[in-house]
Amino acid sequence: MFAELNELLGASPERPDAGKFTLLRDTRTDGSFLVHHFLSFYLRAGCKVCFVALLQSFSHYSIVAQKLGVSLAAAKERGQLVFLEGLKSCLDLLFGEEEQPGQPSPLQFLSGSSCDLRALFEFVRVSLSATAGDSWKGPVLLVDDLSVLLSLGAAPVAVLDFIHYCRVCVCCQLKGNIVVLVHSNEDSEDEENELVVNSLCHHSDLILWAQGLATGFCKDVHGQIKIIKRLSLRQAAEQDLVQIYQYKIQDRNVTFFAPGLSAAVL
C-alpha cells in the first residue's frame, strides 16, 4: 500500500469504497505495482479478497506483499484471501488426473470443452459470496492481467461477459469492488485486446493508466500515471477529472510527483 497513491485517490483503508470498478492499464511499462498496491490496500482494509493471479506465482506476490507489510499466507489462513494461482491450476488441469465432474477447474476453457469463462466466474462467485461467520467488509475481486485470458484463447466477448457478470455479482449485489489490470498499447495491432480495453474504459469508475515515458527510459522517473476519475459515469453533466503524475518505484514504496518535479530535475 503506497500512502501517496492513497492521498491522490482520496482513499483510506479505514473506509474503502463500495461498488467501484477500477481499471488498471499499462502502456509501454509494467503496471504490476498498482496490483500490489490494491492487494495490500484491501487486505489492510479488512475486505474479503479474491485474487485471480494469472501472470505470476503465489510466492512472488507473497514476497512483495511482505515488503509492503501484509502477509498473504496469514490472510489465506484467516480466510480473508482466496488466491487462484493461474499457472498452477493450468498445470493441474492439463497434466493432472481427470477431475471430478462436480468441481470443474476455474480455467476449464483451456482444455477445450467449453470456450466461455463460466467456470472462472463460478469460482469468483463462490469464493466471494458471504458465508456465515465471517465479518469481512466488502468483497473485492482482483485480476492480474486480464490480457492473459485472451492469450489463453478466450474470446474477447467471453472476457467482457465474464467482467460483466462479475460486476453484477460483486459490485451490485455484494457491494464490493473490482480491480482489473490490462495491458494496452496505442499502436498495437492487437484488436481483440483493444476491444476489451476500450469497453472496460467506458464502464470503469476509476482508471489508473501507467505509461512509460514517451521519451524513453529514465533512471529517476519510471513513468507517468494518469488518474481518470470518471465522474461522468455517475452524473452525465460532470466532466471527467484527469490528473497526471510521474512516479518512481522504490524497493518498498512508490513516490508520485508532479511532472517535471522529479529529484533528477530539482
Partner 1 sequence: MSRKYILQALFPRRLFPRGLMPLQANLSAPAPQTPAGQAGCPLHSTRAALPAPFRARCRPPCPLVCPGVPSAPARPGCAPVSPPPRQGPASPRCRSHLPVRRRAPQRTTGSARANNACSHWPAAARAAPPLAERRPSVPGPDMAAAGGERGRTSFQRRPGAGPRPPALPGTRPSVRHGQLLLSSGLPSLDCVLGGGVAVGTLLLIEEDKYGLYSSLLFKYFLAEGIVCGHDLFVASAKEHPDNILKELPAPLRDDSYRKELGDEAAAVKPEDFQDSMKIAWRYQNLPKMETSPTTYTKFGHYYDVSKKMSPELCQSVKLHSFYLHEELPLEPKTKTWNMNSGYARLLQSIQRIISQGGFDGSDPQKKQRNVLRIGIQSLGSILWGDDVCCSDAPEDPQSLTKFLYVLRGLLRKSLSACIITVPAHLIQNKAIMERVTNLSDMVVGLESFIGSERETNPLYKDYHGLVHVHQIPRLNSLICDVSDTKDLAFRLKRKQFTIERLHLPPDLSDTVSRASKQDLAGSAELLSSGCGAMAIGKKHLDF
Q: Which is nearer to partner 1, 69 or 79 (CB)?
A: 69
Q: Which is nearer to partner 1, 136 or 247 (CB)?
A: 247
Q: List the one residue from 129, 131, 188, 243 that touches partner 1 (CB under 8 A).
A: 188
- In whole angstroms, how far apart are CA 94 and each of 124, 155, 189? 21, 20, 30
Question: Nearest approach, Cβ of 234 to partner 1 (angstroms)?
Answer: 32
CA neighbor of 246 nearest in space, from 195, 215, 211: 211
Residue ranges of the alpha helices (H) in the chain?
Answer: 3-9, 32-45, 58-67, 72-78, 86-95, 118-128, 147-151, 156-166, 191-203
Q: Which is nearer to partner 1, 219 or 234 (CB)?
A: 219
Q: Tell me if 151 contacts partner 1 by CB under 8 A.
A: yes
63: exposed, middle or buried (C-beta count within 10 Å: 0-12, 13-18, 19+)? exposed
d(CA 9, CA 26): 18
> Segment 208-227, which members bind partner 1 (CB under 8 A)?
212-219, 221, 224
Q: Which is nearer to partner 1, 149 or 169 (CB)?
A: 149
Q: Tell me if 143 contacts partner 1 by CB under 8 A.
A: no
Grid cell for residue 221: 522517473
> Segment 4-33, which members bind partner 1 (CB under 8 A)?
28, 30, 32-33
Amino acid making up residue 93: L
Q: Which residues bind partner 1 (CB under 8 A)?
A: 28, 30, 32-33, 36, 55, 57, 59-60, 63-64, 67, 86-88, 90-91, 94-95, 110-112, 145, 147-148, 150-153, 183, 185, 188-193, 212-219, 221, 224, 246, 249-252, 254, 259-260, 262, 265
